[in-house]
Amino acid sequence: MLVILDVNIVLWGMAKKFFRVYDSEGRYLRDLPASELKTGLWDEEYLAGVNCILTQSGEFIFGRRGDGEVAAGWLNICTGKVENDEEPRAALVRELREEFGIPDKISNSGLISIGAFPLFAPKRQYSKFWLTNYFHLDLPQDFLLKPDGQEVIEVLRVPTQRVMSFVRENAEDFMFYDDNVDGMFQIAVDRLRE
């Protein structure tokens, strides 16, 4: 089932670090302290997350996650959790800065919302982790990516015409991959071809 959420909803809460917990329809249920992140989710509960498909000069950009990360060694797009009272767009701007060194000015001026979808990863450490807001950011041609070297240790570039076959052929190398993720890549490929 496809769930479309209003990605402009402002999330609010306490000053102590926590995560908002939602049901599969995107309805707020409760706050989860950060200390309970790995064990505190019940059946049919999801955290809010953000993902961004990065492109530049007709290529898709993927990052390989660093050793200290939950997704160590796996390929991924820019991804993260919505924390405390962040709005999803603000959470993604923060993640783009932290992971790839993309200045807020570039992120804020170019992010395009694709929608929000449940994301399941049954073969991974977190079996039902995200209710995810997806975005696309096409970077300026002359911008030089500067991955942080900890969260993202390597940048891979894949030409647009090869991205769908690359993602499907390497699905086991991605932390999260399902039909919704596949659909988001296809939307971004279609936009670049326009």
161 Cβ contact partners less than 8 Å away, ≥ 6 residues apart: none
Q: Is residue 155 part of a domain?
A: yes
Residue type, 90: A
- Give average pLDDT by consecutive 10-residue segment, the chain, 194 residues: 32 56 78 79 77 89 84 83 84 92 91 68 46 82 91 91 85 67 70 66
- CATH number, domain with residue 62: 3.90.79.10
Distances from the Cα of 114 to the Cα of 7, 110, 111, 155, 167, angstroms: 9, 13, 10, 23, 18
- The predicted-structure confidence for 35-84, as pLDDT tens digits, reads as follows 887 777 777 777 777 888 899 998 999 999 888 776 788 888 888 888 88
Q: Residue 124 is inside which H or E element, if any?
A: none
Residues paired with 53 in a beta bridge: 136
Q: Is residue 128 part of a domain?
A: yes
Sign of CA dihedral 92, 80, 50, 78: positive
Q: Is residue 21 part of a domain?
A: no
Read off the pTM: 0.74
- State the pLDDT at residue 176: 61
Q: Is residue 55 part of a domain?
A: yes
The boundaries of the domain holding residue 64 are 44-193
**Which one, of 111, 120, 77, lies nearest residue 93 by Cα?**
111
Q: Is residue 106 part of a domain?
A: yes
